[in-house]
Structure 1
Amino acid sequence: MKTAIPIYDICSLTQRQDDLLISRFAPYLKSHRNLHLAHKHSFYHLVFFTKGDGSQTIDFQQVPVKPFQIYFMIPGQVHNWAFKGEVDGYIINFSVPFFQSFLLKANYLEEFPFFTGIVDDAVIDIPAASQQKIISLFEDLIRESEEPNVLADDMVRAMMLQLFISVARLSMTTVNKTIPPYNYTLLRSFQKLIEKNYTLIKLPKQYAELLYITPNHLNALCNDVLGIPAGEVIRNRVALEAKRLLINNDLTVLEIANQLNFADNSYFTRFFKKQVGLTPEEFRKTTNNHEHSTHK
């Protein structure tokens, strides 16, 4: 498939090795100025800001950049930055297979709320009491990744898991107070099923069947926790993928409609207009114009 939007893998960003990049953020940013334009990653990506201002856009959702904020991204998400002034912190990029040989559960990372692809769960402000601990973890990671120690990669993996668990504890404290664990697990299972099947399975009742619950139960769960019905959760994921594909100018709208399994182009256009408020062509034009005007 031809592609117009850059898709970066780790080896295109570093000469060191293909599975891991750990760095302070300011030198990384200096080396990769072009990353302020919209791009996709083929790897997991996280940044902890210690200094910074401006904004970033993750999957077409704009969020402010501020000190002591950490964000996480999964492969396939679309991203760009619009920083103001000096920015610093820490960055880790790691490949999909990086943990697979290390962990018995291949999908272990998906258990973390910030590795779901849901932007609101992936941008976390670190409270003052925990900021020094998180900085220390990143400093230890940089030291370990730069020294040629025995079993260095495994030590890095262990330290990264410590970082993930520490941040997850901070981010999940408020969630767990409001959502019963069973409901949270069920919702995550629904979201994972959507992620695997959204091009083929479009109806809430089909997902309810896979989860061994009634469609009413699934709807009530989504309304209670997310404030929207189950059908809207599915449609939002399809619309997000349509947006990701539309910024690739080499794909026609018809090709995108086919890729997302719509019966025809006009049905896809009606669906997109209802979800996004613009036709696919209007969205593509608006996004391209915004890119050019922001980065002249």
Structure 2
Amino acid sequence: MPKDQFIPTYKDFNHSLKHLHLKPVSPDRPFYIFSWQYTENRKISYPLSRQDYYDITFFLEADFSHQMNASVNPIRNHTLHLLTPGQAEHFETKTVCRPSGFAIYFKPEFIFATAQRRLVLSELPFLKASRNNIFYLTPEESANIQVLFSKMIEEQDQGPGAGDIIRHYIFILLYKLKHITPKQLVPAIPEESLSLADRFEELIEKNFLQISAIDQYAALLHVSPNHLSETIKKKTGKSPKQFLQEAILLEAKLLLKQDNLSISEIAFQLNFHDAPHFSRFFRKHQQQSPLEFRKQYKSKTKP
């Protein structure tokens, strides 16, 4: 089995719309905003997958568990989730229900068309694929977000210029979410260090299965391995090797949650020499074997 079939990645919005029982749209659209409210009970199943676009979904009414990367979070009324390109997602309603809400899908090139990518990512760190972005809103916050989505829906089909207006509304929404996020006091970091750390995290997210040597990441970033290690440690408190190990461990957890994959297949996907090497790595970082983790996950998710 080709490696990219373990967790498939989809490039257009219709993958998401299909599993929400909604009509398809043109695959060339750079963004799509919609609201939904089912008129009849439905059981929704969204298989584990990745996508190449951003997904901000705002649930007015909902009651189910949602998996983003390896974290499982409850989705309730007035919950918003932000999924970034490359993140793995899965959810399934245990019973039939009538969820309602709003969503906007947009491609990275759309949001970064008029903004510097590094500046945006430094100001809005939850746009990185390593974050689990679940926002539980107050009634007042929920009402404000609902107004924004309604305005975007009104504007999206207004012809030339609609894209620019939608882009501004998206940034307004993102900065509102930034203020909802609990503020953390962090030491001031030089802009050069911040940019290098962000670029390193992006490289890890995209290449951890292909590149395992920190020296190679340093070469791609045109810095020495020592400079890379010092900068990453200063910015995050973790070493580059820890970032790489965490990315591999996260992918391992996602794959272990799929019953149809053997431990040997997962070891192959993650570029370990064999299953015993993978098992030793997993036990070292998770304090349990891969099979113990799978068994524990299955026991927690039983109806």
TM-score between the two structures when normalised by the length of structure 2:
0.71
Quick one: which of 245, 248, 265 aligns to 1:235?
245
| 8 Å contact kept, 2:152–2:166 | no
Which AA in structure 2 matches 1:251?
A: L
| 8 Å contact kept, 1:51–1:68 | yes
1:166 correspondence with 2:175: yes
1:71 correspondence with 2:77: no
The answer to which structure has the higher helix fraction is 1
| 8 Å contact kept, 1:5–1:247 | no
Give the equivalent residue in structure 2 for 1:154.
163
Give the equivalent residue in structure 1 for 2:189.
180
Give the equivalent residue in structure 1 for 2:18.
12
Matches within 5 A, 1:3-82: 9-13=15-19, 14-17=22-25, 18=27, 19=29, 21-24=32-35, 26-27=37-38, 31=42, 33-35=44-46, 39-42=48-51, 43-50=53-60, 56-63=66-73, 65=75, 69-76=79-86, 77-80=88-91
1:139 correspondence with 2:147: no
Percent of matched pairs sharing the same residue: 25
Give the equivalent residue in structure 1 for 2:113.
103
Q: Which runs of 5 or more residues in structure 1 are unaligned?
A: none
Give the equivalent residue in structure 2 for 1:254.
264
C-alpha distance in 2 between matches for 1:31 and 1:184: 45
Return the offset for 1:278: 2.8
Residues 197-241 of structure 1 show CA distances to partners (whole Å, capped at 9, x for unaligned) of 211322334323433444444444444443432211110101112
C-alpha distance in 2 between matches for 1:55 and 1:141: 28
Quick one: which of 275, 280, 291 aligns to 1:265?
275
How many residues are treated as equivalent by the alignment?
286
C-alpha distance in 1 between matches for 2:231 and 2:140: 34
| 8 Å contact kept, 2:45–2:93 | no
1:116 correspondence with 2:116: no
Deviation larger for 107-116 or 13-22:
107-116
**Structure 1's 108 and 191: CA in aligned 2 closer, same or farther, altered over 3 A?**
closer
Alpha-carbon RMSD across the aligned residues, in angstroms, is 4.2
C-alpha distance in 2 between matches for 1:274 and 1:29: 48
| 8 Å contact kept, 2:118–2:198 | no
